[in-house]
Amino acid sequence: MKSYSNSRIIKIMCRIFYLGFILFYFFISCDSIVCDKLPNSYSNYEEAIGIIENARFKQEEKVNTSKSSWIRGASYYSCDGVSGYFILETDSRKYIYSGLPVEVWQSFKEADSFGSYYNKSIKNRYQFKLNN
């Protein structure tokens, strides 16, 4: 059996680790779109939500909505850290809004009642329009 020095073993291990890291990054990045390359139009809301949820953004956040009686999830995605997409999940469906300022997202996360804040400050103020 051939014997290797400790320094040679360390070099081999570093190369294996580096190769593993490259492969991991490649597989993770292949399935997602960078946010500045998102399509300009979507055929339906479900398609838009799926693409946005799987894209890579500068800012991606979720808030724990377990204290809400009807909101099951809330996520925010922003390319520029100024405004972005807001996705609200209920028992029956997901709703998507675009152009939501980051300050509105921050206030939503800090609200005593997610539902009240949503109804007062987001619903009917921000929209996501399909460009068919």
What is the C-alpha separation between 94 and 9, in angstroms, rounded?
Answer: 52
Please report, in tens digits, the pLDDT of each residue of the chain (132 residues total): 566 677 777 776 656 655 554 444 434 444 578 988 999 889 999 999 999 999 999 999 999 999 999 999 999 999 999 999 999 999 999 999 999 999 999 999 999 999 999 999 999 999 998 875
Nearest Cα residue to 52 out of 91, 100, 92, 90: 100
pTM: 0.74
Task: Give the count of alpha carbons within 13 A of 49, CB side only.
Answer: 14
Quickly count: other Cβ atoms within 10 Å of residue 38's Cβ. 16
Report pLDDT for 25: 40
What is the C-alpha separation between 114 and 69, in angstroms, rounded?
Answer: 9
